[in-house]
Chain A
Amino acid sequence: EIVMTQSPATLSVSPGERATLSCRASQSVSDNLAWYQQKPGQAPRLLIYGAFNRATGIPARFSGSGFGTEFTLTIRSLQSEDFAVYYCQQYNNWPPITFGPGTKLDFK
C-alpha cells in the first residue's frame, strides 16, 4: 500500500499571501496524483488531477506540481474562501486508492 503524507498538518496564512502545501508518496505514483479541497460539512472538491491539471472551474490561483514521490499544491493570493482542508490522493497503484491525512489551511 502506498502511504501518503502531507505537511504541514496546519498552515496559517493571511489572505492575499501564497500557500504552499506538500504531499509525499511512499513510492512513486508517477503523475497520478490529485488534490482536493474540503470545507466543513461539504464533500471534497477536486482541484488538481494528473499532478498539475486544474479541474473544471478551478481558479488559476491554484497550481499543482511534482512527479514521482514529491508533490506541491500552491495557492497564490489566498482568498477567504480558500481556507479549508486539503487532501492529496494517489491513484497510480491501487487497490487501495490512498489519501494523505490532510493539511488544514487557516487564518493567520
Chain B
Amino acid sequence: QVQLVQSGAEVKKPGASVKVSCQISEYTLSDLSIHWVRQAPGKGLEWMGGSDPEDGKTVYAQKFQGRVTMTEDTSTDTAYMELNSLRSEDTAVYYCATTLAPLTLNFDYWGQGTLVTVSS
C-alpha cells in the first residue's frame, strides 16, 4: 500500500509563503493523482486542488487560484504544495491524499498532516 509522509509543522508570518512536502513510498508518484486538503482548527475539510486522474493536469480550487502551486518531483517521488501571501485564515492542517483506484477521486490514503500556523 502507498505511504504518504509529510514535512513538519511550520510557523509563518502574514504575507510569507509556505511549501509543504509529501513523500510517497511503496509506489511511484507518476502512478498517482495527489490532492491537497486542508482543515482549519475545529473546522471541516476543504479541497485545495490536485491532479486530474484522466490527464494528469493540476486543477486548483478557485478560492486558491493565483496563490497556490502544486508541483511534483518524480525523481524523489515527492509532491509539493506552496501557498503564498499567507494570512491568519490559512492557519490549518494541510493534508496530501491519494487513491490507488483508477479514475476516481475518493481518497483512501492520506498523509499525517502538516500544521501551518500563520501569526505575526
Is B one of A's binding partners?
Answer: yes
Residues of chain A having any CB pair with chain B under 8 Å: 32, 34, 36, 38, 43-46, 49-50, 55-56, 87, 89, 91, 94-102
Residue of A nearest to B35 (CB): A97
B62 beta carbon closer than 8 Å to chain A:
yes
- Give the chain A neighbours of B105 by CB distance below 8 A: 32, 91, 94, 97
Give the shortest distance, in Å, between B2 (CB) and chain A (any CB). Answer: 12
DSSP majority for the A interface? loop
A101 to B44, CA, bound (A): 6
- Give the chain A neighbours of B63 by CB distance below 8 A: 96
Selected from A44, A55, A95, the residue in CB contact (under 8 A) with B45 is: A44
Give the shortest distance, in Å, between B59 (CB) and chain A (any CB). Answer: 5
Of the candidates A32, A91, A102, the one having the most CB atoms from chain B within 10 angstroms of its own CB is A91
- Give the chain A neighbours of B113 by CB distance below 8 A: 43
A38 to B39, CA, bound (A): 11
Give the shortest distance, in Å, between B41 (CB) and chain A (any CB). Answer: 11
- Give the chain A neighbours of B28 by CB distance below 8 A: none
A94 to B95, CA, bound (A): 19
Cβ contacts A to B, 16 pairs, < 8 Å: A36-B45, A43-B95, A43-B97, A43-B110, A43-B111, A43-B113, A50-B106, A91-B105, A94-B105, A95-B47, A96-B62, A97-B35, A97-B50, A99-B46, A99-B47, A102-B45
- Give the chain A neighbours of B59 by CB distance below 8 A: 94-95
Contact A95 B106 (CB under 8 A): no
Residue of B nearest to A100 (CB): B44
